C-alpha cells in the first residue's frame, strides 16, 4: 500500500488524557477500556468531543516489553477529569501526517513510510508520534482509517563558510 505524507499545521488542542504503560499484546483492550472510561465520563459531564480520539506514543513497542502511551480525548471546553486523568492543552505545531487504511496490525507499514520520508526530507522529528483514530470500533478491519502523525520542524540550514 502506498502512503502519501502531507505536512500541515495543527492548532493547540484541549484533551482529557491519561498516560499509562502497556504491552503490545494488551494494547487493544487497554485502549478500548481507556476510551470507554473517558468518553463515558465526558458524556456524563456534558463535555462535547472536539475531534477524533488519539494516542501519543511516548515509547515504541519492542517485543512485548512495556512502553508508555497517552490516551487523549479532545474536548471543546475545560471540564473536570476522571480520577487518574488530566485536562491538558497540547501545543500547536507542524506535523507530517499520513493516512493508513487497514487493520491495526498492518500499521507498521505506515511508520516505515513515515520514517523513510523523514530521512529523505529536511525535517527533524521533535516529539512523540500520534495515532488518530477516524473509524468507529465496529468498522471492518480492512476499512479502518488511522492517521499517523509526527511533530516536525524544518532542519536548520548549515551556515556557509
Residue 43 belongs to a domain with what CATH number? Answer: 3.20.80.10
Q: Label residue 158 by pLDDT band (50, 70, 90).
A: low
Is residue 67 scored above 90 in pLDDT? yes
Q: What is the mean pLDDT of residues 125-152?
A: 96
| pLDDT given at position 155 | 65
Decide if 15 is inside a domain: yes
For residue 121, being part of any structural domain is answered with yes
In this prediction, residue 78 has a pLDDT band, given cuts at 50, 70 and 90, of confident
Q: Is residue 161 part of a domain?
A: no
3-state helix, strand, coil split of the chain in percent (to 5) is: 25, 35, 40
Q: Is residue 1 part of a domain?
A: no
Rounded mean pLDDT of the chain? 91
Q: What is the pLDDT of residue 160?
A: 59
Render pLDDT for 3-59 as a digit per residue (tens, 0 to 9).
Answer: 799 999 999 999 999 999 999 899 999 999 999 999 998 888 888 889 999 999 998
For the chain, how many structural domains are there in total? 1
- Look at residue 160 and tell me if it is in a domain: no
Q: Domain residues for 88?
A: 6-154
Is residue 83, in this structure, part of any structural domain at all? yes
Output the CA–CA distances (angstroms, integers) from residue 150 to 6, 19, 101, in the order listed.
11, 18, 17
Q: Is residue 97 part of a domain?
A: yes
Q: Is residue 46 part of a domain?
A: yes
Amino acid at each position: 500500500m502506498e502512503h502519501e505524507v502531507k505536512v500541515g499545521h495543527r492548532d493547540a488542542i484541549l484533551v482529557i488524557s491519561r498516560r499509562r504503560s502497556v504491552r503490545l499484546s494488551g494494547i487493544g483492550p487497554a485502549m478500548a477500556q481507556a476510551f470507554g472510561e473517558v468518553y463515558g465520563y465526558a458524556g456524563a459531564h456534558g463535555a462535547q468531543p472536539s475531534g477524533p480520539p488519539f494516542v501519543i506514543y511516548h515509547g515504541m513497542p519492542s517485543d512485548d516489553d512495556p512502553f508508555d502511551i497517552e490516551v487523549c480525548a479532545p474536548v471543546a471546553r475545560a471540564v473536570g477529569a476522571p480520577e487518574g486523568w488530566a485536562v491538558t492543552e497540547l501545543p500547536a505545531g507542524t506535523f507530517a501526517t499520513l493516512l493508513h487504511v487497514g487493520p491495526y496490525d498492518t500499521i507498521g507499514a505506515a511508520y516505515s513510510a513515515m520514517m523513510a520520508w523523514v530521512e529523505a526530507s529536511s525535517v527533524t522529528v521533535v516529539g512523540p508520534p500520534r495515532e488518530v483514530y477516524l473509524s468507529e470500533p465496529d468498522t471492518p478491519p480492512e476499512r479502518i482509517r488511522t492517521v499517523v502523525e509526527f511533530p516536525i520542524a524544518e532542519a536548520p540550514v548549515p551556515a556557509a563558510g
